[in-house]
Amino acid sequence: MTTIARPPSPQPVRPLPADERRHRLLVVDDHPAVRAGVRELLADQPDFVLVAAVGTAEDAMSVAECDPIDVAVVDYQLGARNGLWVSRKLKRLANPPAVLIYSAYADDVLAAAAVVAEADGIVSKGQLGPELCHEIRRAARGQSCLRPVPTSLGEVMRRSLTHEEQAIFGMLLAGIEPSETAATLGFSDAALEARLWSMLRTLEVRAEPAACAPRTASTAHFSDDRARTG
């Protein structure tokens, strides 16, 4: 009598450890050549999944509102909107991604503006590909990639911001959530939101490098957001 061997029982699929899961990424840059280069770099990383590479702030928000994103790599200058605007908008999503501002001018004032925009880090476009991938992995793990704001920036902040705004900045720099910051300083959430947009507009102007060509869009793109939150 012939015995027919039973096929082995299927083994349960073991989920990957958290640090081995593939990170879902969004790239936002208005230069097609930069998008193509970053796309090629990320495609070689086994733990990365590029959800989309888009050229405008509006397209970035459309993608992030529909697809879960772990890390967004966002160019600072995007024409009508900029990376700071995108960062604050992304951080208002129900499941906000980590945000890295990708800039050729990663100076100290931009670092301060990134704090107000709740970005998780700034990556210089002068960095090599492996360094960008390292910063993306750090951000995906929830680690801040922002360098400490130097004490030399204090005078700039004092000239740029009111006393209340300096207090807000200090609390954000300490990692205190905006809702707790508002409660501590006696603001409503809407009032704090309006103040943050105002601070961001001020710091954005100072973050513009002298070597950069004049911008084609003004900071007026913040006004509609401020009006809705004020």
Residues 212/149/99/189 CA torsion (nearest 10 deg): -110
The predicted structure's pLDDT at residue 183 = 86
Backbone angles phi, psi at 31, to 5 degrees: -100, 115
CA distances from 35 to 82, 102, 121, 165, 226 (A): 16, 12, 19, 36, 30
Per-residue pLDDT band for 8 (boundaries 50, 70, 90) equals very low
Q: For residue 54, list its beta bridge partners.
A: 28
What pLDDT was estimated at residue 117? 87
103 and 38 within one domain: yes
Task: Answer yes or no: do 216 and 160 share one domain.
Answer: yes
| pLDDT greater than 90 at residue 58 | yes
CA distance 31 to 24: 21
Report pLDDT for 207: 59
Instruction: Output the six-digit token pair for 83.
Output: 């990376």
Q: What is the largest CA-CA distance in the chain?
A: 94
Q: Which domain covers residue 156, as residue numbers? A: 151-229
As for how many domains the chain has, the answer is 2
Tens of pLDDT, residues 67-114: 999 999 999 888 778 888 899 999 999 999 999 999 887 666 778 888
CA 112 to CA 152: how far, in whole Å?
12
Contact criterion met (CB below 8 Å) for 104 and 145: no
**177 and 124 part of one domain:** no
One domain, residues 92 and 186 = no
Q: State which of 114, 140, 166 marks the end of a domain.
A: 140
Strands annotated E in the chain = 23-28, 48-54, 71-75, 77-78, 81-82, 98-103, 121-124
pLDDT tier, 215 (very low <50, low <70, confident <90, very high otherwise)? very low
Which position has the higher pLDDT, 219 or 17? 17
Question: What is the per-residue pLDDT for 149?
Answer: 65
In this prediction, residue 100 carries a pLDDT of 96
Domain membership of residue 8 (yes or no) is no
Burial, 99: exposed, middle or buried (Cβ in 10 Å; 0-12, 13-18, 19+)? buried
pTM for the structure as a whole: 0.72
Per-residue pLDDT tens digits for 158-212: 777 888 888 888 888 777 788 888 888 888 888 888 888 888 888 776 655 433 4
Question: What does each C-alpha distance from 11 to 6, 15, 18 come to in angstroms?
Answer: 14, 12, 21
Q: Which amino acid type is present at position 88?
A: R
pLDDT score of 61 more than 70: yes
Examine the pLDDT at 223 and tell me if it is beyond 70. Answer: no
Q: What is the per-residue pLDDT across 117-160, written as a single tens digit (0 to 9) for each?
A: 889 998 988 888 999 999 999 999 998 887 766 666 666 677 77
Instruction: Give the separation between CA 192 and CA 190, rounded to whole angstroms.
Output: 5
**Same domain flag for 79 and 112:** yes
Cα–Cα distance, 196 to 227 (Å, whole number): 12
Domain stops at, among 106, 140, 174: 140
CATH number reported for the structural domain that contains residue 204 in this entry: 1.10.10
pLDDT of residue 19: 47
pLDDT of residue 77: 84
